């Protein structure tokens, strides 16, 4: 055990060992990597630097400096919350890339075809976007189940569970609106079936379907509507709720448990 | 009044005896109320400080109130029989006994914590890399489906919703659509899910203490999973029951599943 620790420390020390000392000593390098960064010259593995790594980095400081020991066990969370967020990031990156080649008009189907056949990595990125979307729905649902089985929705975390349910709904809506965009037979009929389910809403069913489809059935107006919802409106909303969700995790006392 | 330990009483009585020029036993008796007090009542209030000098002397409490010149006042009013200077006169007395206890009271047990870097961030980073590798791998071998161009005039049979709604579509085939299509997802899916923490008031999070909740959720998972699987694999044209190994699968997300290029 002790031997392993030493090995790890050596490795951390050498993260940037391949880079020349003159580069690491330059003021430019020092200005980029804040104190505590393992890339900075003279980094050593100390409790103080371990805190700085987290505190002095805009991305890492989503995390607290210290976490409960049982929470870092992979078998406790299976990383499901983190992976939900990560698939969202992958979907954002691949989605922005796809937007360069896609028009939400009668050209949509042709654009997808040419994306798959004549654009470098087009097929790969489209596949990644689609499979990541399915994975995100699964992972978000598994995360919800994990939270339930651990009783992690109990006080003081009740409201964060509510936000989590909203996030699940937004994830489903994002996936559903994206389903129409390839504008093939699979897309239009899956969305038609989904829209018909919405039309069974009591009292305002017809209005709900009309608002969703921008008409009585799935047309190109629906395509544009779903496109704007998919690339702008829903991501905007879900990011706000994710921010609240992550913030509440910290404020409600970090990870729940131990069991 | 707090019960004053005997040794403190004796100590105080000694100080009092010295100050007043009486015997220790006398002072003790006075303090216990067994003798006529030389100075004060037997039951001194903790807050309301009463004088310990002979009756003619001004009360120290008054001194405090009538600052700023208490020393002078004391000096002029010393009774003649008191020999020593007022500054050196021993005037302490027992006001109250404060039991030894910490100022801060810990409300929760200390938690065993580890540094986020590297103990959390390293596994996290590895799992992200594993997910990326997995995603690129399946994207390289599995082609996302793309059927013919959308045509509102040609309805496929069966027309299936996205896979995560297929459990609902399956329910829809059993019940009145107004119940299955909207009321169930709306009430169960949204309101009931959100209300879970407010309904389940059991504070325990040990699995052995919440068997009922775990059972309910497991039933929900099993039910939703079964309905979805039926919708995905066992439903063919006209939403009739089919066996995937005999009749094939009507699920276009699985179409063109393996991609050779």
pLDDT digits (tens, 9 = 90+) for B222-231: 999 999 999 9
d(C-alpha A78, C-alpha B130), whole Å:
13
Domains and CATH numbers, chain A: 2-62 (no CATH), 82-251 (1.20.810.10)
Q: Which residue of A has its CA nearest to B212?
A: A149
Q: How far apart are CA B108 and CA A189, in angstroms?
A: 56
pLDDT-derived band of residue B80, with 50, 70 and 90 as boundaries? low
pLDDT score of B57 more than 90:
no
Mean pLDDT to the nearest integer, B111-135: 92
Q: How many CB atoms are located within 10 Å of the residue A65 CB?
A: 17
- Cβ contact B22:B14 at 8 Å: no
B199 touches A at CB < 8 Å: no
* Domain spans of chain B, in order of start: 6-76, 116-146, 157-261
Q: CB distance B139–A69 less than 8 Å?
A: no
User: B-chain residues within 8 Å CB-CB of A176?
Assistant: 162, 165
Q: How far is B165 from chain A (nearest CA, A)?
A: 8
Band of pLDDT at residue B130, cut at 50, 70 and 90: very high
Task: Name chain B contacts of A182, Cβ cutoff 8 Å.
Answer: 146
Average pLDDT over residues B177-188: 67
Predicted confidence (pLDDT) at residue B63 exceeds the cutoff of 60: no
Q: Which of A135, A184, A192 sits opposite B159 (nearest CB)?
A: A192
For residue B158, which of B230, B109, B224, B100 has the smallest C-alpha distance? B230
**B22/B196: higher pLDDT:** B196
pLDDT of residue B66: 47
Mutate to test the interface with A, among B197, B215, B222 (most CBs of A within 10 A): B197
Would you state the pLDDT for residue A11? 60
pLDDT more than 90, % of chain B: 24
Confidence of residue B81 (pLDDT cuts 50, 70, 90): low
**Mean pLDDT (whole number) for B36-58:** 54
The CATH code of the domain at B157-261 is: 1.10.287
- Asked whether the beta carbons of residue B120 and residue A188 sit closer than 8 angstroms, the reply is no
- Given this model, what pLDDT does residue B18 score? 85
- pLDDT above 80: residue B48: no
User: What digits encode the pLDDT tens for the residues B198-229?
Assistant: 999 998 889 999 999 999 999 999 999 999 99
Is the model's pLDDT at B173 over the cut of 90?
Answer: no
Which tokens in the block code for residue B51? Answer: 């004088």
pLDDT-based confidence at residue B128 (cuts at 50, 70, 90): very high
Q: Calculate mean pLDDT across residues B184-193.
A: 76
Percent of chain B whose pLDDT exceeds 70: 70
Q: Is the per-residue pLDDT at B47 higher than 60?
A: no
Q: What is the DSSP string of B113-155?
A: EEEHHHHTHHHHHHHHHHHHHHHHHHHHHSPPP--SBP-TT--
Chunk chain A into consecutive blocks of 10 residues (it has 259) and report each block's average pLDDT, rounded to whole numbers. 58 63 83 84 85 88 90 90 96 97 94 95 96 96 95 93 96 94 93 83 81 89 95 97 96 87
- B115 to A198: CB separation less than 8 angstroms, yes or no: no
Average pLDDT over residues B232-257: 82
pLDDT for the residue numbered A216:
87
What residues of chain B lie within 8 A of the CB of A74, using their CB?
A: 123, 127
Q: In this structure, what are the phi and psi dihedrals at residue B235, rounded to the nearest 5 degrees?
A: -120, 125
Average pLDDT, integer, range B123-128: 94
Per-residue confidence at B52, pLDDT binned at 50, 70, 90? low
How far apart (Å, rounded) are the C-alpha atoms in residues A236 and A230? Answer: 10
Q: What is the mean pLDDT of chain B?
A: 77
ipTM of the complex: 0.89
pLDDT at B90: 65
Q: Is A1 exposed, middle or buried (0-12, 13-18, 19+ CB in 10 A)?
A: exposed
């Amino acid at each position: 055990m002790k031997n392993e620790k030493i090995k790890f420390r050596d490795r951390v020390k050498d993260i940037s060992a391949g880079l020349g000392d003159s580069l690491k000593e330059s003021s430019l390098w020092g200005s980029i990597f804040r104190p505590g960064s393992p890339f900075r010259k003279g980094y050593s593995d100390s409790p103080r630097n371990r805190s700085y790594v987290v505190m002095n980095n805009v991305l890492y400081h989503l995390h607290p400096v210290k976490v409960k020991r049982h929470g870092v066990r992979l078998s406790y969370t299976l990383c499901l919350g983190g992976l939900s967020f990560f698939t969202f990031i992958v979907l954002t990156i691949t989605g922005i890339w796809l937007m360069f080649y896609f028009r939400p008009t009668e050209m949509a189907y042709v654009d997808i075809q040419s994306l798959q056949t004549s654009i470098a990595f087009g097929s790969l990125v489209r596949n990644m976007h689609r499979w990541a979307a399915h994975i995100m729905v699964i992972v978000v649902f598994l995360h919800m189940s994990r939270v339930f089985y651990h009783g992690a929705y109990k006080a003081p975390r009740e409201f964060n569970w509510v936000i989590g349910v909203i996030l699940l709904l937004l994830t489903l809506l994002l996936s559903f609106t994206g389903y129409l965009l390839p504008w093939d037979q699979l897309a239009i009929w899956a969305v038609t079936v989904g829209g018909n389910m919405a039309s069974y809403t009591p009292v305002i069913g017809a209005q709900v379907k009309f608002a969703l489809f921008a008409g009585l059935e799935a047309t190109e107006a629906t395509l544009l509507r779903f496109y704007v919802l998919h690339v702008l409106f829903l991501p905007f909303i879900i990011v706000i709720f994710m921010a609240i969700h992550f913030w509440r995790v910290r404020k409600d006392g970090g990870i729940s448990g131990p069991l | 009044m707090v019960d004053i330990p005997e040794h403190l009483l004796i100590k105080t009585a000694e100080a009092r005896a010295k100050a007043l020029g009486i015997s220790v036993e006398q002072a003790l008796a006075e303090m216990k109320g067994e003798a006529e007090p030389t100075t004060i009542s037997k039951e001194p209030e903790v807050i309301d400080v009463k004088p310990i000098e002979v009756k003619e002397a001004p009360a120290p409490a008054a001194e405090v109130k009538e600052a700023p010149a208490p020393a002078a006042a004391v000096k002029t009013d010393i009774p003649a029989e008191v020999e020593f200077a007022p500054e050196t006169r021993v005037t302490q007395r027992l006001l109250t006994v404060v039991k030894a206890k910490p100022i801060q009271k810990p409300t929760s047990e200390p938690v065993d914590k580890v540094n986020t870097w590297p103990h959390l961030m390293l596994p996290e980073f590895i799992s992200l890399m594993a997910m990326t590798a997995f995603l690129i791998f399946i994207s390289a071998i599995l082609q996302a489906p793309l059927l013919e161009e959308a045509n509102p005039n040609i309805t496929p049979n069966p027309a299936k919703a996205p896979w995560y709604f297929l459990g609902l579509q399956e329910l829809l085939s059993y019940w009145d659509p107004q119940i299955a299509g909207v009321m169930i997802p709306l009430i169960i899916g949204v309101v009931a899910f959100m209300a879970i923490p407010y309904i389940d008031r059991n504070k325990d999070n040990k699995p052995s203490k919440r068997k009922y909740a775990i059972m309910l959720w497991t039933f929900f998972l099993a039910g939703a999973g079964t309905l979805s699987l039926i919708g995905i694999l066992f439903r063919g044209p006209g939403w009739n029951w089919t066996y995937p190994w005999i009749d094939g699968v009507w699920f276009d997300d699985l179409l063109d599943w393996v991609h050779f290029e």
